[in-house]
Amino acid sequence: MDIQVGDILKMKKQHPCGSREWEVLRIGADFRLKCAGCGHQIMIARRQAEKNVKQIIPAISKISEKPLADCRDV
């Protein structure tokens, strides 16, 4: 599963605020995600995140905002 910083993850479960979309802020052993609905941030284990992802919306349109130091585990 190819997930990068800045991508939007559409999850199977929805957040209590009603949003299913989370922005990827940081990637490592854990992901840091920000809820697109209410701005709440969480840390979630990579495996758990991947299990819950329904769809990945690539951050192509936001590429100029992306930090150069994308840190990715493979």
DSSP E strand boundaries for the chain = 8-11, 21-27, 30-35, 41-45, 53-57
* Least distance from Zn ion to the Cβ atom of residue 72, Å: 25
Binds Zn ion (CB under 5 A): choice among 9, 27, 33, 35: 35
Are 29 and 45 contacting, i.e. CB atoms less than 8 angstroms apart?
A: yes
* Least distance from Zn ion to the Cβ atom of residue 14, Å: 8
Q: How far apart (Å, rounded) are the C-alpha atoms in residues 66 and 49? A: 21
Binds Zn ion (CB under 5 A): choice among 38, 43, 45, 63: 38
Could you list the residues that contact Zn ion (CB under 5 A)? 15, 17, 19, 35, 37-38, 40
